[in-house]
A and B are shown apart, each in its own frame.
Chain A
Amino acid sequence: MSHIVEIKTEIRDPVAIRAACQRLTLPEPVFGEVKLFTTSATGWAVKLPEWKYPVVCDVNTAKIAYDNYEGRWGDPKHLDGFLQGYAVEKAKLEARKKGHSVFEQPLTDGSIKLTIRVGGVA
């Protein structure tokens, strides 16, 4: 091994958003202006399970707008799950584009391990 990098997920790709929704069996993301209790936001709206308002992803600024009233209107673990799903799908998409092969493996602590073989296996 030669280096380790820690990365904070940023949502910038609508294709990966859609793939994450399919992965988590969420409704298809919808682009538009969405009302969040007192405010509103524009972007890709993702409806998380048991959340009162959707999560709105602005792919230009990578900002996520939501109002879950400190957990009363939506469990934060669902948002974390969506971020995880997005990161997995985005990494797989990018690896495939480069022609690398990707293997996915769930870990016992809930993490997901992706192994990318650079140059593929062919």
Chain B
Amino acid sequence: MKIIEIIIAPNGQSTVETKGFIGSKCRDASRFIEQAIGQQTNEILKSEFHQAATTQQQIQQGQSHKACYCTSHKHLSQENFHMSLIERFSEYVRACLTGLWIESHEHQDALMAIALLCRQEHWRLATWDIEQGLRVDGAKIEANGNDPLAAITSVNSLATSDGTAILVLQNFHRFLQSAEIVQAPSQQVIAGKQNGTIVVVLSPVVQLPVELEKLFVVLEHELPDRAQLSEIARGIATEASELPARQELATVLDAAAGLTRLEAENAFSLSLVRHGRILVTGRCTGGRTSLAAGTLAGSRGSGVVKISLTATRIIMPRALRGSLHSPHCSPHRSM
């Protein structure tokens, strides 16, 4: 077990001691605390500091048995799949589902949509992320800054007797390894039923610890559909000559299926810069590679690849969702 032990004396002086680390890794592990508290005045290296890594292997193996995150979540039902994120979100908030987990790769888009909805419905909205801290109506709240635990409890201060308050926590999956941070949303989701506060986690992956598995409902922020991709393409190709003809545009949209809004925008822009118009060129080996190469997914008029692209569009949101549940698997587009 890797532990950092800090003894803070009544005069405010601290002693930091690391336990269970291999060799010099303890220095890296405790550096953040040492730098945060103050200035180092003395350091004592123990004999274990120089111990070979091999003798510590067993400790490391013991650590690897961390509890696995849940593999089954309450995903949206099949009949709701066609509904947009914001429609489902609105429905769930009205139904007072107080713990929502939005799986999204496009946080800004999701946040803008949520902010718009909150404005329309007169719901109070606060957002939090580790870099910007807590923000209410876009303004930073200094109190408690970027403490993840304080962020969760802060939603109660937004609660009103007859209104709804929503707290959106961005990339909060990063903090859910801590026992006390797991406890806070757990209690808040229950308390939210009484005071009308909703905790929303915005994250690119679904990594719910077992304690929160039954408390949160997972929503998927879907990738852009053909109409949205077409809109993005038309927004970038402002001249008529830059936009492909109808049939070719359909191929471009097929090829762009599975990209996020930003990826599609980047790919269209790069295609414009390279070729003067939006078109499908080159051979695609994967979403990111094709973007870096400035080409959209597709392959020299090959019907086989076209079929595989269509299949990818279906595979992406559905089949890969299973792999997203595992913390050890990351979603990659296969084309």
Which residue of A has the minimal Cβ distance to B67? A122
What residues of chain A lie closer than 8 Å to B6, measured between beta carbons? 87, 91, 113-114, 116
Binds B, one of A5-13, A35-43, A47-55, A65-73: A5-13
One digit per residue, 1 when the CB lies within 8 angstroms of any chain A CB and 0 when it does not, for chain B 26-60 equals: 11011011101111111111101101000000000
Whether A97 contacts B148 by the Cβ 8 Å rule is yes
Q: Which of A7, A15, A99 contacts B178 (CB 8 A)?
A: A99
Q: Let me know if B179 and A3 touch, CB within 8 A.
A: no
Q: 1/0 per residue B156-200: CB within 8 Å of A?
A: 000000000000000000111111111000000000000000000
- Taking a contact as CB atoms closer than 8 A, the residue among B12, B23, B148 that contacts A96 in the complex is B148
- Distance in angstroms from B13 CB to nearest chain A CB is 6
* B146 to A, closest residue via Cβ: A97
Question: What class of interface size applies to chain A in its complex with B?
Answer: 35 or more
Q: Which residues of B contact A111 (CB under 8 A)?
A: 7-10
Smallest distance from the beta carbon of B324 to chain A beta carbons, Å?
A: 18
Label chain B's interface by main secondary structure: mixed
Q: Please tell me if B114 contacts chain A, counting CB pairs below 8 Å.
A: no
Which of A9, A18, A110 meets B13, CB within 8 Å? A9
Q: Which residues of B contact A15 (CB under 8 A)?
A: 142, 144-147
Q: Is the CB of A94 within 8 A of B13?
A: no
User: Knowing A2-B45, A9-B13, A109-B10 touch, does A96 contact B19 (C-beta < 8 A)?
Assistant: no
Contact of B181 among A8, A96, A110 (CB under 8 A): A96
The reply to whether B145 and A94 contact each other, CB–CB distance below 8 Å, is no
Q: Contacts A1-B17, A5-B42, A9-B38: A116 and B179 contacting too (C-beta < 8 A)?
A: no
In the complex, how many angstroms separate the beta carbon of B129 from the nearest chain A beta carbon?
Answer: 12
Question: Contacts A116-B3, A119-B66 known; A94 to B29 CB distance under 8 Å?
Answer: no
B26 touches A3 (CB 8 A): yes
Question: Quick one: CB contact mask for A93-118 with B, threshold 8 Å, 1 for yes?
Answer: 11111111110000101111111111
B1 at the interface (CB under 8 A from A): yes
A94 touches B180 (CB 8 A): no
| Chain B CB within 8 A of A120 CB | yes
Closest beta carbon of chain B to A70's beta carbon, Å: 17
- Is there an interface contact between B179 and A101, defined as CB atoms closer than 8 Å? yes
Q: How far apart are the CA atoms of A10 and B48 in the complex, in Å?
A: 29
Q: Say whether A117 contacts B5, CB under 8 Å.
A: no
Please give, as numbers and ranges, the residues of chain A lying within 8 Å of B8 by CB-CB distance.
Answer: 84, 87-88, 91, 111-114
Q: Which of A4, A94, A102 contacts B43 (CB 8 A)?
A: A4
A31 to B, closest residue via Cβ = B142
Instruction: Report if B154 contacts A (CB, 8 A).
Output: no
Given contacts A1-B18, A2-B49, contact A101 B10 (CB under 8 A): no
List B contacts of A90 (CB < 8 A): 36-37
Q: Are B37 and A87 in contact (CB-based, < 8 A)?
A: yes
A93 to chain B: closest residue by CB: B147
Report whether A116 and B33 are in contact in the complex, using a CB–CB cutoff of 8 Å. Answer: yes
Is B130 interfacial (CB 8 A cutoff)? Answer: yes
State the 4 A-B residue pairs at the shortest beta-carbon distance, nearest first: A83-B12, A120-B177, A10-B38, A15-B145
Chain B residues with CB under 8 Å of chain A are 1-19, 21, 23, 26-27, 29-30, 32-34, 36-46, 48-49, 51, 63, 66-67, 130, 142-149, 174-182, 209, 211
Supply 20 further A-B pairs (C-beta < 8 A) apart from A14-B142, A97-B148. A2-B48, A5-B15, A5-B17, A5-B42, A10-B38, A62-B38, A77-B10, A91-B8, A96-B147, A99-B177, A100-B178, A110-B9, A111-B7, A113-B6, A113-B7, A116-B3, A116-B5, A116-B33, A119-B63, A121-B178
6 A–B contact pairs at CB < 8 A?
A: A1-B17, A6-B40, A8-B38, A90-B36, A101-B178, A117-B1
